[in-house]
Structure 1
Amino acid sequence: MNALKNKRILIIGFVWPEPKSSAAGSRMMQLIAFFKENGGKIMFASTASESEFSEELYEVDRKQITLNCTSFDEFVSELQPDLVLFDRFMTEEQFGWRVAEHCPNALRMLDSEDLHCLREARRLTVLKNKPFNLNNDLAKREIASIYRCDVTLMVSEFEIELLQSHFKVPSFIMFYLPIWMGNETLNLPSFEERSDFMFIGNFLHAPNHDAVVYLKEKIWPLLFTKFPEAKMHIYGAYPTQKIKSLHEPKLNFYVHGRVDSSFEVISKARVLLAPIRFGAGIKGKLLEAMQFGTTSVTSEIGAEAMNGNFLWNGFITDSPEDFAEKAIELYQDKIIWVKAQQNGFEIIKNGFSKDLFKDSFKEFLTDKFKNLEKYRNKNFTGLLLIHHFLQSTKYMAKWIEEKNKA
């Protein structure tokens, strides 16, 4: 049975997807492709403006929506979707109560991308030297959003365990669905055909910004001193002036900015360096490195929830000195490099292949659609939060709407 065939699916995007800019954009395009493949009729809506880098959404209807406006109520009432996917918890906060009021029978699904409260707690610890506090204000909003939805898609098994153990979130309102990789055979350059170190990432994402600054200031001086022939290439969308200022050819440190094809730059490099000091979820750059046969050196947080019981496709370390030494060793020793490359292929095959998830996801959705009322009654905390959130947010939104008319 195909639970999605002819179902009306509304996706409320935090932004319009940019798969060439970020892993979040690639993730959204994967979900859209999955729904389309299974016969869903998709409407993508967002309050954000499209950019020149937004992906063309073929066979997908599009709608520009407005915050705190009854025009959304009219739109969603007429559409009457069977499933509403909220892209990150902030969109559920903005539109979840309207969906619950006007489309009470629609399956409400949250795509978390990563656990924002975990990322924020780590950021404050690293950058502000504050004690690690997972019970922060962001967590109060994010966990409430998870409870209000019928299901939350999680990309990290570590975060699922954290939500269950720390916040007591019931397992039946979560589903593990990581970014998946294709099974196509790629013609990849050999060890000898590759050269240089590289990093790639969207610099609007704070962990990427911090990682490159940390790399340039703490790790690269150690690496370059021991290996002066080394070259480092930085790629990524939306580089800030700070990132651009790190460009220093005399130290073989090059900042290039946006690229059209991540495959082109990652597959030509021998080693990807990702000293990620805070963050959450799984890292798209590291998955692509594995798929494209590029080895990597990263941090414990960088590798979190990615390799399971398999060996990493390179090295994992949080010490700047060790990071530099391991990067050089991986770059120069072909035997170690080839073994690391194979480790990456194994991780992709056994942990991130689309074939591992497509059928179980369909079965999960079939069960949710069939037994939606039963699952909602099991999640009394969610019912309670929806009731109070609908009341408080509804009148706040109406107040803002009236204020905007003045």
Structure 2
Amino acid sequence: MNQVQKLLIIGFVWPEPNSSAAGGRMMQLISLFKAQGFSISFASPAQDSDFMVDLQEYEVEKESIQLNNSSFDVFVKELNPDVVLFDRFMMEEQFGWRVAENCPDALRLLDTEDLHCLRLARQKAFKENHSFIATDLFVEEVAKREIASILRCDLSLMISEFEMELLESTFKIDISILYYLPFLLKPIDAAEIQELPVFEERRDFVFIGNFLHEPNWNAVQYLKETIWPLIKKLLPEAVLNVYGAYPSQKVLQLHNKKEGFLILGRAIDAKEVVQEARVVLAPLRFGAGIKGKLLEAMQCGTPSVTTTIGSEAMHGDLPWNGFITDDVADFVDAAVQLYQDKAIWHKAQKNGLKIINQRYSKGLFESSFRIKIEFLRSNLPQHRLNNFMGSMLQHHTLKSTKYMSRWIEEKNK
């Protein structure tokens, strides 16, 4: 009789699918491994939060773990997982060497979420007012840490084809340790499209995004200071509803009823507020990965106006769910067109539904991912031999990280 395979996920935070795209992504991965018959434990050093998902509802064991503490060694040895999934490179840095030492035969996966070094380098280029170029990444300290983490893992899950190409061309990472696995969504059928609110039933513009994420805060400032006043001049009755988890005082201060710029905080049901809106605005000026807010807009049948950064790696050769532009005047013009012209709006909506079904339908990825995991588990020694850079980094950083962690542990006693 086959033994049940065990997956250990080491989470940076507890999943909050209603607060961020990262939380939604994590729940999709849990569902993917559940379908493969894995029993799953989710461990995190993070504090519990009011909005975290109840993992027990999904038959996932919840474990609190500590940083720089050998109690983790006892826990992981006892669990003896077949596969370990690190949620972002910071968790691999903290716990990767302990997993390698205590469970050497476990397949080590990294879910990158987005390339942190790319997001930070673009943010820096934006703040310093120069165009981002790939070699900017070489001076980014986070890049050195993140690339080392990717090399040490057996496989890194990437949600963006652009980022995969960047890792291959700029950092010369071998494709054998990278795997394209975007957001995994349920396809949308004709009956569901019929149930969506029609053009006439919708009103207002909407922006939605977690405010702990710097690109979102920057986009809201850009809307407030530059874009929204121009839209408001052309559409005096228009309202922009700004939703997002964890708004700080500086975010709340932007609320202005007279200007039709409303800061509404956390959305109880994000899909509902996006479905009721006529147009999503997402003028993102830096960032990385795939934008959950724009996929959600497509799922809700709500056209969007965004930037090249916003739409990056999202739609392949398919036409966008609205308009893509980095020019302020064009952005305003596109927003007004979508808001007023039913024919343009309908065409944009159809484009979005096509993108979901042709690029993000989970059925496109489930079986090939299962085959990849099975292949790696059967050929792990050879796969690791082929990844010499990874073995070398594992050897050296295991030592340095290990002794630094041991020192912190002693200091904390």
**Same fold, judged at TM 0.5 (above):** yes
Aligned twin of 2:185 = 181
Distance 1:129 1:272 in 2: 27
Distance 2:5 2:129 in 1: 48
- Determine helix, strand or coil for the equivalent of 1:29: helix
**Does the CA contact (< 8 Å) of 1:12 and 1:85 recur in 2?**
yes
Q: CA deviation at 1:129?
A: 3.0
Aligned twin of 1:191 = 199
Distance 2:12 2:128 in 1: 27
**Does the CA contact (< 8 Å) of 1:181 and 1:291 recur in 2?**
no
Instruction: Tell me the alpha carbon deviations over residues 2-36 of structure 1, each in whole angstroms, 9 at most, x when there is no partner.
Output: x9x72111000000000000000000011111111
Q: 2:228 aligns with which of 220, 224, 245?
A: 220
Aligned twin of 1:265 = 273
Distance 1:14 1:363 in 2: 27
Q: Which shows bigger deviation, 120-129 or 385-394?
A: 120-129
Distance 1:297 1:322 in 2: 10
Distance 2:52 2:270 in 1: 16
- The residue type paired with residue 229 of structure 2 is P
Distance 1:360 1:200 in 2: 33
Q: CA deviation at 1:183?
A: 2.3
Identical amino acids, percent of aligned pairs: 59
Distance 1:372 1:247 in 2: 54
Correspondence list, 1:102-141, <5 A: 102-129=102-129, 132=132, 133-135=136-138, 136-141=140-145
Q: CA deviation at 1:265?
A: 0.3
**2:332 paired with 1:329:** no
Aligned twin of 2:14 = 16
- The residue type paired with residue 398 of structure 2 is L
Correspondence list, 1:340-351, <5 A: 340-351=348-359
Correspondence list, 1:198-347, <5 A: 198-347=206-355
- The residue type paired with residue 23 of structure 2 is G
Q: CA deviation at 1:128?
A: 3.2
Aligned residues, how many? Answer: 402
Distance 2:27 2:284 in 1: 25
Q: CA deviation at 1:184?
A: 4.9
Q: CA deviation at 1:331?
A: 0.8
Q: Which shows bigger deviation, 132-141 or 83-92?
A: 132-141
Distance 1:159 1:172 in 2: 15
Q: CA deviation at 1:180?
A: 1.8
Aligned twin of 1:159 = 163
Distance 1:130 1:76 in 2: 46
**2:395 paired with 1:397:** no
Distance 1:134 1:393 in 2: 23
- The residue type paired with residue 138 of structure 1 is V
* Runs of 4+ with >4 A deviation: none
Aligned twin of 2:152 = 148
**Does the CA contact (< 8 Å) of 1:180 and 1:353 recur in 2?**
yes
Structure 2 regions of 5+ residues with no counterpart? Answer: none
- Determine helix, strand or coil for the equivalent of 2:137: coil
Q: CA deviation at 1:130?
A: 5.7
Aligned twin of 1:69 = 69
Instruction: Tell me the alpha carbon deviations over residues 377-405 of structure 1, each in whole angstroms, 9 at most, x when there is no partner.
Output: 00000000000011111111111111111
Q: CA deviation at 1:237?
A: 0.5
Q: CA deviation at 1:131?
A: 6.4
Distance 1:95 1:345 in 2: 40
- Determine helix, strand or coil for the equivalent of 1:230: coil
Distance 1:37 1:283 in 2: 25
Task: Give RMSD over aligned pairs.
Answer: 1.1
Distance 1:210 1:204 in 2: 11
Structure 1 regions of 5+ residues with no counterpart? Answer: none
Q: CA deviation at 1:217?
A: 0.7
**Does the CA contact (< 8 Å) of 2:66 and 2:72 recur in 1?**
yes
- Check 1:14–1:282 CA distance in 2 against 1; reply closer, same or farther (3 A cut): same
